[in-house]
């Protein structure tokens, strides 16, 4: 059985804009299965961005459950995330899902994990997946030392991760919000 690997998702907030970017590679073992997957999406009437890393079917199941929570709690991002994290940690079926998610609306970015974590990043930047640490390091440097906007930082950081991580490619999908 192949172990599914890879992806890189990054989310950056700067100057009233929030951008989430993800690569398109789907790998199984040492084989690239697909190069143009879309792992960053708008959900809840396009008012929330979600990006996922991990086993694809697991990620889609979590995405569906998260959107159900958004519907239940009237689009309240934090409440929906906390409720999903509780279910994810305690439900027999959900507990077995191997994925991570970043979710965002124009005001908030959250990292969700199967350990029950709901984390709001300190510096307005978070990344997940096999190339997540590379993208996060590049993104932090760009955020601190460049005059780039949120979208450009997310894209450039993902490009850097793609140059380092074999499970990340340069086929980038980006979604963006403005606080207005």
Q: Are 21 and 158 in contact (CB under 8 A)?
A: yes
Active-site position among 7, 18, 168, 173: 7
Which pTM was predicted?
0.93
How high is the pLDDT of residue 54?
82
Q: Are 91 and 164 in contact (CB under 8 A)?
A: no
How high is the pLDDT of residue 78?
97
Q: Catalytic annotation on 72?
A: no
In this predicted model, what pLDDT tens digit does every residue of 6-30 receive, in sequence order?
A: 789 999 999 999 999 999 998 888 8
Domain coordinates in residue numbering, the chain? 4-170
Cα separation, 20 vs 5, in Å, equals: 20
CA dist 114 → 34, 47, 89, 110, 178 (Å): 25, 24, 6, 13, 29
Which CATH architecture fits 4-170? Answer: 4-Layer Sandwich (3.60)
pLDDT tens digits, the chain, 180 residues: what are they? 334 457 899 999 999 999 999 999 988 888 888 999 999 999 999 999 999 988 777 888 889 999 999 999 999 999 999 999 988 888 777 777 778 899 999 999 999 987 889 999 989 999 999 999 999 999 999 999 889 999 999 999 999 999 999 999 999 999 999 876
How high is the pLDDT of residue 8?
95
- Specify the residue for token string 């990054």: 10
């Amino acid at each position: 059985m192949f172990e599914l690997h890879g992806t890189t998702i990054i989310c950056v907030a700067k100057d009233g804009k929030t951008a989430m970017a993800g690569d398109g590679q789907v790998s199984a073992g040492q084989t690239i299965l697909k190069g143009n997957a879309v792992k960053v999406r708008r959900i809840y009437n396009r008012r929330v961005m979600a990006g996922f890393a991990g086993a694809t079917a697991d990620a889609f199941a979590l995405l569906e459950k998260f959107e159900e929570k958004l519907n239940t709690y009237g689009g309240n991002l934090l409440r929906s995330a906390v409720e999903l994290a509780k279910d994810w940690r305690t439900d027999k079926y959900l507990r077995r899902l191997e994925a991570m998610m970043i979710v965002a609306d124009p005001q908030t970015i959250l990292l969700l994990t199967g350990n029950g974590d709901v984390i709001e990043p300190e510096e307005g930047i978070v990344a997940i997946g096999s190339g997540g640490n590379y993208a996060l390091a590049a993104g932090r440097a760009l955020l601190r030392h460049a005059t780039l906007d949120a979208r450009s930082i997310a894209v450039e950081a993902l490009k850097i991760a793609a140059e380092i991580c074999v499970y990340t490619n340069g086929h980038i999908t980006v979604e963006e919000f403005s606080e207005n």
